[in-house]
Amino acid sequence: MPIAHSELIINPDGSIYHLNLKPHQLAATVITVGDLERVKEVSKHFDAIELKVGKREFITHTGVYKNKRISVISTGIGTDNIDIVFNELDALVNVDFQTREIKKELKSLDIIRIGTSGAVQNEIPIDSFLLSQRGIGFDSLMHWYDNDGGDLAFAKAVSQQISRSKLHSAPYVVSCDLDLAKKFQSPEMINGNTLTKVGFYGPQSRKIRRHPAEKNLNEHIASFNFEGHKITNLEMETAGIYAMANLLGHRAVSLNAILANRTTGEFSIHPGETVEKLIKFTLDSIVA
Share of the chain above pLDDT 70, in %: 98
d(CA 186, CA 129): 10
Does 243 score more than 80 pLDDT? yes
State the chain's mean pLDDT as an integer.
94
pLDDT tens-digit map of 31-49? 999 999 999 999 999 999 9
Position 214 confidence tier, pLDDT thresholds 50, 70, 90: confident
Exposure of 79 in the CB half-sphere (CA atoms within 13 A):
26
- Rounded distance, CA 241 to CA 42, Å? 19
3-class DSSP state for residue 100?
coil
C-alpha–C-alpha distance, residues 144 and 240, integer Å: 11
Query: What's residue 148's pLDDT?
Result: 84
The per-residue pLDDT for range 151-184, each reduced to its tens digit, is 999 999 998 888 655 556 689 999 999 999 999 9
Please tell us whether the domain made up of 23-287 is placed in CATH 3.10.129.10.
no
pLDDT at 65: 98
Calpha distance 108→157 (Å, rounded)? 31
Q: Give bridge partners of residue 283 from the DSSP assignment.
A: none
Say what the pLDDT of residue 204 is.
79
Nearest CA-CA partner of 116 in 264, 263, 259: 259
